[in-house]
Amino acid sequence: MFRFSSSLLFLALLCSCSVAALAQDNPWRAGIVTDEFIYTEAPFPSCHASTLAETKEGIVAAWFGGTYERHPDVGIWVSRLVKGKWTKPVEVANGVITPNFRMPTWNPVLFQIPNGDLMLFYKIGPDPRHMQGYFRTSADAGKTWSEQKRMPDGFSGPVKNKPVLLDDGTLLCGSSTEIDGWMVHFERTRDFGKTWEKSGPINDTRDYEVIQPSILQHGNGVLQILCRSQNAVVAESWSYDNGKTWTLMQPSGLPNNNSGTDAVTLADGRHVIVYNHVKTAINASRGHRTPLNVAISNDGKQWDAALILEDSQIKEYSYPSVIQTSDGMVHVTYTWRRERIKHVAFDPNRLKTKPIVDEKWPQ
């Protein structure tokens, strides 16, 4: 009896030491409740640019997948989280123009219309400089999809990150172009895709080269965008009239590696950004796409370090998408080494944070 109890005690101590060691090796993991791959096997070898939305039947994810980015066989794939498990990826859109001609698809973006259809925006074109926007809708939470709808010439809808629905019913889409420098503009629809308007660009490329804005909502018509840049910083701009006019681009206090980010305003008014906390080196075209980090802010100005989702020297962990679901959890998907899409969920009330000062992640 004595030896049996001692063995149990030894095992308990061993397990507790292992857990403590793991926590010590990963100090930036507090609050994470789910860490999983959406799939481990798929009919495509490469993937990128995931997106998320919550429907009445659960979470839906989409991304583009194919032989490699820019290959004509790249299509838009969808998976649904059903009873805690992700469904097998299904291709729901592609760039087939004729039986003998096909172009790659790009950057899907999901948006759930309140009490309505699920929208799936995506682009078709040979490269990011020459893309045309399209969208489909689903009335059954992503199981089946409508015919493809072409947006007006020159429109792409939300270029990477989710749009926001304003109080007046306008769906505001952060978009950008890469033709004559990197420029951010906005596309609006008041009828969920039937008609469109465009405004901008809002940046001077002599000062900031920026694309792929994510939109934060501060209330009373105050909006903030956070943008990928070629200037080694996450660039920001503010609007005080629901996106009609914008301030000059400025550094946000966060570094950028010339890679995509995403951000969301939480139900309690705080703001979350998911990004690579990496600064592009001088004379480099971009920085490493690892680690992948989460920061949180009360006001969109002072950011606190919250989580490190990936911290491997093996690249890359990039192009995140982030939403908060109705149960309060925050969900993130991102590109895992261009081979899979990773899904992480965390409780924003269980984060252990430290201030980010001078763009430095705290020790």
Place of tokens 């989702």: 309
Assign domain 29-61+146-355 to a CATH class: mainly beta
Please state, in angstroms and rounded to a whole number, the distance separating the CA atoms of residues 181 and 179: 6
Q: Domain locations in the chain?
A: 29-61+146-355
pLDDT of residue 12: 38
Radius of gyration of the chain (CA): 21
The two tokens of residue 224 are 């903030």
**Count of C-beta atoms within a 10 Å radius of residue 61:** 26
Place of tokens 């995509």: 260
The two tokens of residue 348 are 């924003």
Assess contact for 52 and 80: CB atoms under 8 A.
no
Query: Which pTM does this prediction carry?
Result: 0.93
256: number of CA atoms within 13 Å, CB side?
29
Q: How far is CA 226 from the centre of its chain?
A: 12
pLDDT of residue 25: 58
pLDDT of residue 71: 98
SS3 180: coil
In which residue ranges of the chain is pLDDT below 70? 1-25
pLDDT of residue 175: 98
pLDDT of residue 10: 37
- E strands in 139-232: 149-150, 164-165, 171-177, 183-189, 197-199, 210-219, 222-229
- Say which DSSP state 348 is in: G
pLDDT of residue 27: 77
**Count of C-beta atoms within a 10 Å radius of residue 145:** 20
pLDDT of residue 348: 98
